Amino acid sequence: PSPFIDPPPHLRWVSGRILNGQDAKDGAWPWQVSVRMYGSHICGGSLISESWVVSAAHCFDPSVANSTYRVQLGETRLVSETPTQTFSSVKRIILHPNFNSSTFLADIALVELEKPIAFTAAISPVCLLDASVRVPAGTPCWVTGWGNMRPQAETLQELKVFTIDSTICNDHIREALQKPAGDNPVKEDMMCAGYMEGYKGTAPGDSGGPLVCEENGTWYLAGIVSWLLETIEHSVAAGYPGVYNRPNAHNEWILENKTAWGLHPAGERSLGMGFAFQKNPLQRCIGLYSRGG
């Protein structure tokens, strides 16, 4: 069912996809993964340690066995085989217990890989933000994905977007959906990024895929692609940004899984926007970190 009450006939919500992006270079986004179901690409995700991927909860069917899913890492093309590409079976999937499929609240999932992955130049985790961090409005970030439209892009797409103030975003989307004041579709654990005017490829990338922002040479996972507005004709509604789950809004839940995660506090703080959950061997994450799976 639609999460919105009586939306106008020309608009509806859909899970994310990317439009008007550009081909990504090999190895540019080494944390990007493809989540496969029965061998077909269904969602994106982000590698966050040797054994764990974070994605969107709405990507997974709890009634389907974990063995149905596989994860592709180290590749920018969905069908081409290269020496950097690797596949992993899925050991388990943890959906956030508060996930609401109608409102997309807590649209986050942890995916444990069957075996730890060796990091390379093409396969490397992204840093996670501390719970206290709110990425400022107007921050340039990047969203990546292959798109869930048909035909899919063979090469990973990248799109530069800007974060948008949540109050402004809520007002904009609420007006389009003809919802009353105070009935906010963009919840506390969500954020907006894209463009508020014109048609500039406002759609985000694959559902579950990363929205990443860079500070001082380190890339942080600011958002997980969750939902956007689309016309009934299946065209992305121009002038409406994508909506992302903020993974750092769920750090407490992530820490509750620390037995599986192997998280350990580093006791170190950053003066910038970035705290993080693991040390990446190819870049430095500040704060709490993981020693792997």
CATH number (domain holding residue 99) = 2.40.10.10
Asked about 234 being catalytic, the answer comes back as no
Is the whole model's pTM more than 0.95, yes or no? no
Do 102 and 244 belong to one domain? no
The answer to whether position 40 is within a domain reads yes
Q: Is 159 helix (H, G, I), strand (E, B) or coil?
A: strand
Do 138 and 90 belong to one domain? no
Percent of the chain with pLDDT over 70: 72
Do 166 and 178 belong to one domain? yes
- d(CA 286, CA 4) in angstroms, rounded, equals 39
Do 145 and 242 belong to one domain? yes
- d(CA 212, CA 219) in angstroms, rounded, equals 6
Residue 233, pLDDT above cutoff 70: no
The answer to whether position 217 is within a domain reads yes
The answer to whether position 201 is within a domain reads yes
Strands (E), 103-173: 109-113, 127-128, 140-145, 157-164
Task: Quickly state the pLDDT bin for 53 (edges 50, 70, 90).
Answer: very high
- d(CA 109, CA 117) in angstroms, rounded, equals 19
Among 58, 96, 172, 250, the active-site one is 58
The answer to whether position 53 is within a domain reads yes
pLDDT of residue 258: 52
Range from 152-161, 165-174, 248-257, 269-278 that averages highest in pLDDT: 165-174
Specify the number of domains making up the chain.
Answer: 2
CB 87 within 8 A of CB 74: no
Do 116 and 255 belong to one domain? yes
Which tokens hold the place of 119? 């990091």
Do 244 and 256 belong to one domain? no
The per-residue pLDDT for range 178-232, each reduced to its tens digit, is 888 888 999 999 999 987 665 444 343 488 999 999 888 889 999 999 988 765 4
Phi and psi based region of residue 79 (left: phi greater than 0; alpha: psi -120 to 50; beta: remaining): alpha
Do 99 and 185 belong to one domain? no
CB 93 within 8 A of CB 111: yes
Closest CA to 146 of 32, 238, 52: 32
Do 189 and 243 belong to one domain? yes
Asked about 58 being catalytic, the answer comes back as yes
Do 170 and 186 belong to one domain? yes
Q: Provide the 8-state DSSP code for 41.
A: E
- d(CA 89, CA 36) in angstroms, rounded, equals 10
Do 99 and 149 belong to one domain? no
Range 68-80 average pLDDT: 90
Which residues constitute the domain of residue 81?
30-125+251-261
Q: What are phi and psi of 168, to 5 degrees?
A: -65, -45
The answer to whether position 283 is within a domain reads no
Do 49 and 111 belong to one domain? yes
Q: Provide the 8-state DSSP code for 27.
A: T
Among 34, 55, 107, 166, the active-site one is 107
Among 46, 51, 207, 290, the active-site one is 207
The answer to whether position 293 is within a domain reads no
The answer to whether position 268 is within a domain reads no
The answer to whether position 266 is within a domain reads no
